[in-house]
Structure 1
Amino acid sequence: MNSTDSRKKVGFVGLGIMGRSMAGHILDGGHELHVYNRTKGKGAELVARGAVWHDSAGEVAAACDILVTIVGYPKDVEETYLGAGGIVERAKAGAVLIDMTTSSPTLAVEIAAKAAQKGVRTLDAPVSGGDVGAKAGKLSIMVGGDEAAFNVALPLLRLMGENIVLQGGPGAGQHTKMSNQIAIASTMIAVSESLAYAKASGLDAGRVLSSIGTGAASSFALNVLGPKMLADDYAPGFYVHHFIKDMSIAIAEAERMKLDLPGLALAKRLYETLASSGFGEEGTQAIYRLYEQHAGK
Structure 2
Amino acid sequence: MSQNIAFIGLGIMGLPMAKNLINTGYNVTGYNRSDKAGNELAAAGGTKAASIAEAVADADAIITMVPDSPDVQAVVLGADGVFANAKPGALWIDNSSIRPDVAVELAATALDAGLRPLDAPVSGGEAGAIEGMLSIMVGGEQADFEAAKPVLEAVGKTIVLVGPSGSGQTVKAANQLIVAANIQALSEAVIFLEAYGVDTDAAITVLGGGLAGSKVLDQKAQKILDREFAPGFRLALHNKDMGIVTSAAREAGVVLPLGALVAQLVTSTVASGDGALDHSGLFRGVQRLAGKIDAPVPA
Aligned partners of 1:196 and 1:295 also within 8 Å:
no
Once residues 237 and 129 of structure 2 are traced to their aligned partners in structure 1, the CA distance between those partners, rounded to angstroms, is: 16
Aligned partners of 2:2 and 2:151 also within 8 Å:
no
Alignment partner for residue 193 of structure 2, among 191, 195, 198?
198
Secondary structure of 1:149's counterpart equals helix
Q: Counterpart in 1 of 2:118?
A: 123
Once residues 7 and 115 of structure 1 are traced to their aligned partners in structure 2, the CA distance between those partners, rounded to angstroms, is: 18
Once residues 176 and 214 of structure 2 are traced to their aligned partners in structure 1, the CA distance between those partners, rounded to angstroms, is: 14
Aligned partners of 1:274 and 1:290 also within 8 Å:
yes
Secondary structure of 2:30's counterpart equals strand
Runs of 5+ unmatched residues, structure 1 = 1-5
Q: Tell me the TM-score normalised to structure 1 length.
A: 0.94
Is 2:89 the counterpart of 1:87?
A: no
Q: Counterpart in 1 of 2:206?
A: 211
Q: Counterpart in 2 of 1:289?
A: 284
> Which letter does structure 2 place at the counterpart of 1:211?
V
Secondary structure of 1:252's counterpart equals helix
Deviations, residues 17-41 of structure 1 (Å, cap 9, x unaligned):
0111000011111111111001121
Count residues with an aligned counterpart.
292
> Which letter does structure 2 place at the counterpart of 1:290?
G
Secondary structure of 1:236's counterpart equals coil
Q: Counterpart in 2 of 1:9?
A: 4
Q: CA deviation at 1:134?
A: 0.4
Once residues 78 and 242 of structure 2 are traced to their aligned partners in structure 1, the CA distance between those partners, rounded to angstroms, is: 25
Q: Tell me the TM-score normalised to structure 2 length.
A: 0.93
Please, which moves more after superposition, 45-54 or 244-253? 45-54
Once residues 108 and 269 of structure 1 are traced to their aligned partners in structure 2, the CA distance between those partners, rounded to angstroms, is: 25
* 1:1-150 equivalences in 2 (<5 Å): 6=1, 8-150=3-145
Deviations, residues 105-158 of structure 1 (Å, cap 9, x unaligned):
111111111111122110000000000000000000110001111111111110
Secondary structure of 2:57's counterpart equals helix
Q: Counterpart in 1 of 2:229?
A: 234
Aligned partners of 2:2 and 2:60 also within 8 Å:
no
Aligned partners of 2:5 and 2:63 also within 8 Å:
yes
Q: CA deviation at 1:50?
A: 3.0
Q: Counterpart in 1 of 2:297?
A: none
Once residues 229 and 264 of structure 2 are traced to their aligned partners in structure 1, the CA distance between those partners, rounded to angstroms, is: 19
Aligned partners of 1:195 and 1:295 also within 8 Å:
no
Runs of 5+ unmatched residues, structure 2 = 295-299
Secondary structure of 2:160's counterpart equals strand
* 1:180-199 equivalences in 2 (<5 Å): 180-199=175-194
Q: Counterpart in 1 of 2:159?
A: 164
Once residues 80 and 198 of structure 1 are traced to their aligned partners in structure 2, the CA distance between those partners, rounded to angstroms, is: 46
Q: CA deviation at 1:58?
A: 2.9
> Which letter does structure 2 place at the counterpart of 1:193?
E
Once residues 131 and 224 of structure 1 are traced to their aligned partners in structure 2, the CA distance between those partners, rounded to angstroms, is: 11
> Which letter does structure 2 place at the counterpart of 1:67?
I
